[in-house]
Amino acid sequence: MVDRDLLLRKLALIDEYASQAAEYRGVTVDAYRGDWRTQRIVERTLQLAIEACLDVANHLIADRRLPVASTYAEAFQVLSDQGILEAPVRDAMIGMAGFRNVLVHEYARINPGVVVDILQKQLSDFQRFRDAVLHAVGTVP
C-alpha cells in the first residue's frame, strides 16, 4: 500500500522548492550568468525539486509493482504507461530528469538560458506532476 504520508511530505517539498525557485523568476539571463550565488541557489533548488519528483515516481513504481525504471527519465515513462501521467506532464518531467543530470554531472554545460526558461515558464510542471500523483492515489488536488 502506498505510504500516503510519505508521498504527501515529498509533494509538499516539491511545492516548497518550486515556490523558492519562483522567487527568482524575474532574473534575466545576463543577471543569472553574472551571479554565482543566484546560480547556486536556483540550480540546487531545482535539483532538489526534481529529485523529490523522482522519489515520488519511484515510490509509486515500487508500491504498485510496476516495471522498474532503469533511468530517471524512464520512471516518468512508466507512470505514463500506467495512466498516472498524461503525455505533456510525462514529457515535461522527462525533460526535468535530463536537466537534473546536467546539473549533477556536467556543470560546465549548464546553459543560463535554459535555467531562466525553466524559472519563467516551467515551474508549473511541478504542480502538474503533484496534481497527477494526488489524483492517482485518490487525493484530489
> What is the full DSSP assignment across 85-100?
S-HHHHHHHHHHHHHH
pLDDT digits (tens, 9 = 90+) for 71-86: 999 999 999 999 999 9
Flag whether pLDDT at 11 surpasses 80.
yes
State residue 109's pLDDT score: 83
User: Is residue 46 within 8 Å of 99, Cβ to Cβ?
Assistant: yes
Q: What is the pTM of this model?
A: 0.94
Q: What would the 3-class secondary structure string for 105-131 be?
A: HCHHHCCHHHHHHHHHHHCHHHHHHHH
User: Is residue 11 within 8 Å of 134, Cβ to Cβ?
Assistant: yes
State residue 1's pLDDT score: 59
Q: Which domains does the chain have, with CATH numbers?
A: 4-136 (1.20.120.580)
Flag whether pLDDT at 69 surpasses 80.
yes
Flag whether pLDDT at 141 surpasses 90.
no
Percent of the chain with pLDDT over 70: 97
pLDDT digits (tens, 9 = 90+) for 20-61: 999 999 999 999 999 999 999 999 999 999 999 999 999 999
Average pLDDT for the chain: 94
